Structure 1
Amino acid sequence: MSTTTQPKLKTSAMIASFVDPGQRTVTAPFGHALVAAAEGNDKIVGLSADLAKYTDMHNFAQAFPDRFFQMGMAEQLLLGASAGMAETGLIPFASTYSVFAARRAYDFLCLDIAEPNLNVNVVGGLPGLTTGYGPSHQATEDIAIFRGMPNLTIVDPCDSVDIEQAVPQLAATDGPTYLRLLRGKVATVLDEYDYTFELGKAKVIRPGADVVLISSGLMTMRALQAAANLEKHNVDVAVVHTPTIKPFDSATVLRELNTDRLAFTLENHSRIGGLFETVASAVVERGLGKKVGSISLPDEFLAAGALPTLHERYGLSTTSIEARILSAL
């Protein structure tokens, strides 16, 4: 009796990408940027909680095996060891999934690292809705958890350009940082806009007379795509990229909001405690009296499934953004 080999079926939940077909990408920009930074600074060390391959830390591990530490599935130990290394003058980059850093090891980051203001750089994979594996791995509230922690810098990069330029600046910055990692094949977008990453600074990526979008993370890519498509409807859209969530560049953002343009924030995060509430508090404190809409994830545990389907369902897709803006004009 003959038999045929059936192809192995794979779930699309984890392997699906939010990068569009044909879009320019760079593979493992964080891993390569960390290697480059470490070549010029022997104080940089890498640690991972059994997730080096899935956070692009494997590049560093291969280049500097004597400076890489595999801590196993023990996030508290990962951050505790990082704190000890930082106390000796080393500059640790500690990688795990965002959900594990935020939910399992918060107290270690807060008291061992943030309170003494140590230079430990926490790198969180799968931030927001970048996996379809459901609430166990979707870190949709990580910024909300971390924003109230004193001394902690929070960075939400858009693309490979942001990541490559952010890594050496994070290494050189006193105090702890949290980087929302985009891993694997990461889109390259911002090099087309004469952009450079500056820690703590927002940048006007694209001017526009009708609508202003304040965005962070991969949603800046989506905002730029939506802005280009809305030109067909004679809608002129400005995009302001805010890669640093804390400390927040309120001066730049409020200057762009202090107009009669329609305004939205865009973020790959719950509408609770993230970019929207950061912007809203700045608007209220300044007394602008400005209405700002939120394009973000709902305050709920999200479904599991194929990533493109989930982005469409929860309003993060480019077509969803365009429809939201057109309906508000």
Structure 2
Amino acid sequence: MSRTPRPKRRVLRRHHIVEVGIAEQNLVGDAAGLAACGMKPFVVSPACFLTARSLEQLKVDVSYGRNPVRLIGISAGISYGALGASHHSIADYAALRAMPGIPIVAPADNCETEAAVRSAAATDGPVYIRLGKRALACVHTSRSGPVTVEHATQLRAGGDAGIIATGETVAIALEAAKALERKGVDTTVVSMPTVRPLDTGTLFEVARRVRALVTVEEHSVHGGLGEACATALMTGGIPVRFRCLGIPDEPIVNGPQLDVLSHYGIGPDKLAGLAQELLT
């Protein structure tokens, strides 16, 4: 008597969502425990709380424990605008750059965000991905080539000024380059999604080619992209007129995101003016 063969079982990958409420310290600690057991946790929380309130858990459970937790900080920088300094995240680069083993990625658009998430899923170590809040146009074109976050991408080429930007400031840098072009200034614009480890190869190539270089970020001028680039250039012995543009060392003003950024000179016209000033 023949038996009817049993249908093959389809193995499904199981995805779980764990909600811990407003408890970022528990969130990171739980995720580190799951990572230690071989799972691939993605932690999602506002960047201001994820990298400040749970700083000790990030230091001990993720960094020192070498647990592969994928940290997703949303509404970063000044995305929360008028909610004030308690909700701004302008020290996250600085805090995490001081901890060993945590790469820092700030995508400029949806293309870089997808690349960052795919890269994080494939890695065996921790990573911090910093996302904003407002809708952004894609800064990449077919001429940019394959989108990656492991290396910087040159979006415009020019031999006069160079702008190295990360995250949401990349779009501002591109607009500034257009304003400079109208004044006869050829500008290189680089999207530097990974703040750590820094793509020093691209940085050095641009610094050797241009006469003035500006870094721009939605972060404090202390401990972020600008300081990382300045240190690399100084250590590498590469002389170039250089300026770091970010949030200065003072109590931050409150208001809509773009208004606050413009207040600190992080806007197309003011950025273009700064670059042109360095060239004179």
Q: Output the CA distance in 2 between the equivalents of 1:312 and 1:92.
A: 37
Instruction: Show CA shifts across 1:307-327 (max 9, x none).
Output: 232122111111221222233
What residue number does 2:38 align with? 89
Aligned 1:1-329 pairs, distance under 5 A: 42=13, 67-132=16-81, 133-183=83-133, 185-191=135-141, 193-329=143-279
8 Å CA contact 2:200, 2:232 repeated in 1: yes
The one-letter amino acid of 1:288's match is I
Supply the distance in 1 between the matched residues of 2:211 and 2:48 (Cα, whole angstroms).
Answer: 36
- Matched to 1:105, the amino acid is S
Q: Provide, for residues 185-225 of structure 1, a one-character-per-residue CA deviation record: whole Å limited to 9, x for no partner.
A: 33322135424333431122211011111111111111111
Which whole-Å CA distance do the structure 2 matches of 1:310 and 1:86 have between them?
A: 38
CA distance in 1, matches of 2:272, 2:160: 13
Measure the CA separation in 1 of the matches of 2:249 and 2:237: 27
| Cα deviation code 1:13-54 (max 9, x no counterpart) | xxxxxxxxxxxxxxxxxxxxxxxxxxxx937x5xxxxxxxxx
Residue type at the aligned position of 1:180: R
Write the letter of the residue equivalent to 2:107: P
Runs of at least 5 residues in structure 2 that lack an aligned partner in the other structure: 1-11
Cα separation, 2, equivalents of 1:200 and 1:304: 34
Mapped to 1, the partners of 2:258 and 2:152 lie a distance apart of: 28
Q: How far apart in 2 are the matches of 1:192 and 1:141?
A: 34
Identity across the alignment (%): 32
Cα distance in 1 for partners of 2:192, 2:140 equals 13
In structure 2, the residue corresponding to 1:117 is in which secondary structure?
coil
Label 1:224 to 1:184 Cα distance change in 2 as closer, same or farther (>3 A).
closer
Decide whether the 8 Å contact of 2:42 with 2:72 is kept in 1.
yes
Structure 1 residue 117: deviation in Å? 1.8
- Kept in 2: contact 1:264–1:294 (CA 8 A): yes
Cα distance in 2 between the residues matched to 1:114 and 1:195: 33
Q: Distance between the aligned counterparts of 2:258 and 2:176, measured in 1? A: 16
Task: Assess if the C-alpha contact under 8 Å between 2:152 and 2:190 holds in 1.
Answer: yes
Name the CA distance, whole Å, in 1 between partners of 2:132 and 2:77: 10
Paired residue total:
268
Tell me the distance in 1 between the aligned counterparts of 2:239 and 2:278: 18
Unpaired runs of 5+ residues, structure 1, are 1-40, 46-66
Q: Runs of 4 or more off by more than 6 Å in structure 1?
A: none
Q: Secondary structure at the match of 1:123?
A: strand
- Once structures 1 and 2 are overlaid, which stretch shifts more, 219-228 or 73-82? 219-228
> What's the secondary structure of 2:31's corresponding residue?
helix
8 Å Cα contact 1:162-1:196 kept in structure 2: no
**Which amino acid counterpart does residue 201 of structure 1 have in structure 2?**
H
* Structure 1 Cα separation of the partners of residues 196 and 17 of structure 2: 28
Amino acid at match of 1:310: V
Deviations for 1:165-188, whole angstroms, at most 9, x for unmatched residues?
211111111211111112453332
Distance in 2, Cα, partners of 1:326 & 1:202: 23
CA contact 1:159–1:182 (8 Å) conserved in 2 = no
CA offsets, 1:257-290, max 9 Å, x none?
A: 1235211111111111001110011011111133
Q: Which amino acid aligns with 1:91?
A: K
Q: Deviation at 1:300?
A: 2.2
1:47-106 Cα shifts (integer Å, max 9, x gaps): xxxxxxxxxxxxxxxxxxxx1111111111000110111112111111111111121111
Conservation of the 8 A alpha-carbon contact between 1:216 and 1:242: yes
CA contact (8 A) 1:119 1:171 kept: no
State TM-score, norm by structure 2: 0.90
Query: In the alignment, residue 135 of structure 1 is paired with which amino acid?
Result: A
* Residues in 2 aligned to 1:258 and 1:321: alpha-carbon distance in whole angstroms: 21
8 Å Cα contact 2:76-2:133 kept in structure 1: no
Larger Cα Rg: Structure 1 or Structure 2? 2
